[in-house]
Structure 1
């Protein structure tokens, strides 16, 4: 296993050459930032690289951002600490994966059933007050929360078919901390590994599956090549992730570069909205690598019911968490009352 992982890491360096970081448009810019994303090279091509290329092209010799992929500078679980210390100037990640010491960390990534569709995430942040809560919480620890956006829904990709809740029992699955904490009550065994080790871990049987993405990422990063089944039931409608910056480095930027940073990173959020939304449908229908399976609605309702209990447990942990949970509840109630196309009963 160790030998294969070392080979994969070495091969990954060669592969990364074809998926190079964004070009720098100035050899000696006045300001140079280093940003690390949670994503590996193939995924970063879509979720961050176009935005950074755009920023660098416009900023020119005023400022350039060097983009690093998953675990290149520091492990993903150490991203927050590196950002806070200024080892890294900016980060693209979810709160949960980078182990942020804030009251909102549990809601990053896939908080069970907090969203039904990807558009729910920007609405919750921009119209329901989550952006202000996140900004306040991160300011307490010396980090600037720039903006949040939606990624893909969370599904299981597995070696063996999942047709019932019983089929989940004992399955060793790579997933996010909070998602794993929630799904463990149904027998799922959450496993934490470096991102680049996942494909090999599935091949060797160290993992039985992955609950880290939707089907678009499964195909993009190669996981569809080592898993055989895709469960259509999802535990969240969209991954919630953000862009963060070291507070001192951010405050030192002139106002026009702050605005440029915001605009180009917002373009990344827009790109992902249509890339994932179209990809999820296209690959379910026309993808040839994984067979779709489904847990019946009446059985999956047990998971949705358990999520409500989980929400109430989280709300008891702090006043801030209770405030976020109440926003989720108010929003969900409004969407249900609004009916189609916002919610389908």
Structure 2
């Protein structure tokens, strides 16, 4: 008798009584390793990888586990893309713009000077063409990417001396993340690409004159206020930097449909959680820093205007020499223009009014 016929006519009880075992397809356990670009001490940005791993384990009933490794444990902070590309690890959690030296397009997946804010970046990724375009690009590096957090707009960094005008940027040795260093060079500065865990020592020793990281909550943990008193805003080079989970394409494509859905859902959870933590924790940290003597300063108008001009000039140059950039930036810039028009009449106007009130 045909197995399917037995099941259909007698049900599972009849099958068991007849001594015919039903076919059971047990899903094999999956074990991945994740290499982070960040130290464990930064519970917000490193913590997003832990959120991801915890969600993967919970949603799979423990059958899919991801071990999370801090910067330097498996590979250097800036070695994680090579690690994923070569299959040394299955997944990395990092800021894509760290790798602009491979191709400037990595920055478009994270943040560029005077780019999208965090909400706009998420909109471009999830409902615009961002995820599609960036995945086409990352495929050249054997990577499948998922948005993995956003810090929100960042601060403009810590300085040993005041930046009163554009001339004070000349010769300034500054740790600045990724692509923004290209604009700093055009302003006369000297960019330094230093991992988060090594910044304090460089600033304390005077190897650098200034640094930026993220914002008050992280910066306070790293102790920058102890060696540089002036804290500037805004971080015009990253209005909404997105972190990513970079996954080796063979590892991802080898997953079952269920586990692929779990990865997508876990990444989305981490994406939302990271910014929620920053938005919730930054205000108190900023109050504490100012109370402890931090001197809060806005960048002067001439610094902002020249940085904006130089940024747009850089993008035009890249359009002429980098076909990948030209393709992605065309979509990105159109999306940015539409978003700024919309935010001008809604978010920005509402925010300005609320911030002028004494609540």
TM class, shorter-chain normalised? Answer: 0.7 to 0.9
Q: Distance in 2 between matches of 1:308 and 1:32?
A: 44
Q: Distance in 2 between matches of 1:194 and 1:241?
A: 15
Q: Which residue of 2 aligns with 1:326?
A: 330
Alignment of 1:152-191 (within 5 A): 152-154=152-154, 155-191=156-192
Q: Distance in 2 between matches of 1:285 and 1:297?
A: 25
Is 2:341 aligned against 1:340?
A: no
Deviates more, 1:235-244 or 1:317-326: 317-326
Q: Which residue of 1 aligns with 2:39?
A: 40
Q: Which residue of 1 aligns with 2:8?
A: none
Superimposed CA distance per residue, residues 66-119 of structure 1 (whole angstroms, 9 cap, x where no aligned partner): 10111221112221111111111101112232468456223244311112x321
Superimposed CA distance per residue, residues 257-313 of structure 1 (whole angstroms, 9 cap, x where no aligned partner): 111111111111111222223444444445334221122335422222222212212
Q: Distance in 1 between matches of 2:89 and 2:50?
A: 17
Q: Which residue of 2 aligns with 1:95?
A: 96
- Pair 118,277 (structure 1): closer, same or farther in 2 beyond 3 Å: farther
Q: Max radius of gyration: which structure? A: 2
Q: Distance in 2 between matches of 1:111 and 1:137?
A: 17
Q: Distance in 2 between matches of 1:118 and 1:286?
A: 25
Backbone CA RMSD of aligned residues? 2.4
Q: Distance in 1 between matches of 2:218 and 2:88?
A: 29
8 Å contact kept, 1:172–1:188: yes
Q: Say which SS state the counterpart of residue 131 (structure 2) adopts.
A: helix
Deviation at 1:241, TM superposition (A): 2.0
Q: Which residue of 2 aligns with 1:49?
A: 50
- Pair 99,44 (structure 1): closer, same or farther in 2 beyond 3 Å: farther
8 Å contact kept, 2:57–2:63: no
Is 2:298 aligned against 1:297?
A: no
8 Å contact kept, 1:335–1:343: no
Deviates more, 1:299-308 or 1:63-72: 299-308
- Pair 176,108 (structure 1): closer, same or farther in 2 beyond 3 Å: farther
Q: Which residue of 2 aligns with 1:196?
A: 197
Is 2:81 aligned against 1:80?
A: yes
Deviation at 1:243, TM superposition (A): 0.8
Unaligned runs of 5+ in 2: 1-27, 353-359
Deviation at 1:327, TM superposition (A): 2.4
Deviation at 1:134, TM superposition (A): 1.1
Q: Distance in 1 between matches of 2:332 and 2:134?
A: 15
8 Å contact kept, 1:122–1:149: no
Matched length: 316
Is 2:216 aligned against 1:212?
A: no
Q: Say which SS state the counterpart of residue 213 (structure 2) adopts.
A: strand
Deviation at 1:169, TM superposition (A): 2.1
TM-score by length of 1: 0.83
Q: Distance in 1 between matches of 2:103 and 2:196?
A: 23
Q: Say which SS state the counterpart of residue 71 (structure 1) adopts.
A: coil
TM-score by length of 2: 0.80
Superimposed CA distance per residue, residues 5-47 of structure 1 (whole angstroms, 9 cap, x where no aligned partner): xxxxxxxxxxxxxxxxxxxxxxxx8221110111111224533
